[in-house]
Amino acid sequence: MAIQDIYPTALRLLGRPVLVVGAGPVAARRTKGLLDAGARVTVVAPVACPALAELADAGLLNWEPRPYRPSDVDGVWFVQTATGDAAVDGQVSADAEAQRVWCVNASDHEASAAWTPAVAVVDDVKIAVNAGGDPRRAMALRDAVATALDTGDLPLRRYRGSGMGATTGSVALVGGGPGDTGLITVRGRRLLGQADVVVADRLGPRELLAELAPDVRVIEVGKTPGHHPVPQAGINRILVEEALQGQRVVRLKGGDPYVLGRGGEEAEFCRRHGVEVEVVPGVTSAISVPAAAGIPVTHRGLAKGFSVVTGHEELSEVPARADHTVILLMGVGQLRDSAASLARAGLPQGTPVGIVENGYLPNQRVTIGTLGTIADQAEAAGVVNPAVIVIGDVVRVSPFAPSHFKTADYSTTAPNAPRTTKTRVLTP
């Protein structure tokens, strides 16, 4: 049988009788698929493998513990052979052919009237792959297609209604990470590919918007410091109004929607108005952007904890110790005041400070100084948001730190041993 002889189709076997001849591991796998399709399965075999016997004991199928008889194909819609005996499988196939019943002959795919594809299910999409009678090739292709659907590399977006009578759409609050398209989660990428409407921030993986289908509407609601063209109340209304019109809405945010991203307010507003909402965590810039500059927010021998605040928040309650990392988001404009506040709380003026602008993007820039110098350095360098500011001894670990910061190798294997590796230095 050549692949050109195959007419791909899908069988609706719900409630219909089917026959499986054989009860080994292959038969068990095929039987499980038939049961998943809702078929009424009868298995004929003298002995059943444990997996198939369990299905019979659970009352999910009818097992006839005896050899095959030609009358077994009477009245069935579909037959699967898997005895491991080519002569028996051939006889079953011939009997089914005589009664014009489709039969899969597991012993001889060339002579089989039907082939069973390699199958995967992603959401409500079922993928079935035939590969010229090569089951391993079919499985490899199936897995590759399923992975591409899972990751959003292939579109899962619907163009017809689900047929379930639903009139209300949904909202997904998707954390897009710090901006690099490879740092959005698989779930987030997948939902973005299914969206009818995307409500987008100015941060996050903006390049992914260019990959959307032409008829996907992108509503820009991005904010900059001191400039909010669409206030938060307006964003909340957009999400609900679009969903109530039956749209699948993705709120694409930078970082994580629940880390200083007002995602909690958006989710609460949606639920209060009867809109289904899903929250997809993202790689928060508070941790990932320092990592882009080689700065861990915790490190053995340097810091065991960290605090994340915005530059607009009162810092008096933050532990003022160099061994407790302080991370400021949206803090460039108030950096001088923030540094002074931490100094008044007791943090030494020589505490290392690192500023990472545009983390993971081609124009990423790192500025490193101390609590006492960083405000002047930032002004001289023209530092602007988006930027993450890291305050604490962990900045010493960065390969961009000045050489005089690197007095020791704070490794997990030899704490405080002399450092011998060369590092890059970025100074104002």
- Active site (catalytic) residues: 201, 223
For residues 388 and 359, the answer to whether their CB atoms sit within 8 Å is: yes
Residue 130 tokens, joined: 């035939």
Residue 145 tokens, joined: 């297609």
Q: How many residues does the chain have?
A: 428
Which of 17, 18, 27 lies closest to 82, judged by CA?
27
> Terminus-to-terminus CA distance in the chain, angstroms?
72
HEC per residue, the chain: CCHHHCCCCCCCCCCCEEEEECCCHHHHHHHHHHHHCCCEEEEECCCCCHHHHHHHHCCCCEEECCCCCHHHHCCCCEEEECCCCHHHHHHHHHHHHHCCCEEEECCCCCCCCCCCCEEEEECCEEEEECCCCCHHHHHHHHHHHHHHHHHCCCCCCCCCCCCCCCCCCEEEEEECECCCHHHCCHHHHHHHHHCCEEEECCCCCHHHHHHCCCCCEEEECCCECCECCCCHHHHHHHHHHHHHCCCEEEEEECECCCCCCCHHHHHHHHHHCCCEEEEECCCCHHHHHHHHCCCCCCECCCECEEEEEECCCCCCCCCCCCCEEEEEECCCCCHHHHHHHHHHCCCCCCCEEEEEECCCCCCCEEEEEECCCHHHHHHHHCCCCCEEEEECHHHHHCCCCCHHHCCCEECCCCEEECCCCCCCCCCC
Residue with tokens 């995307």: 198
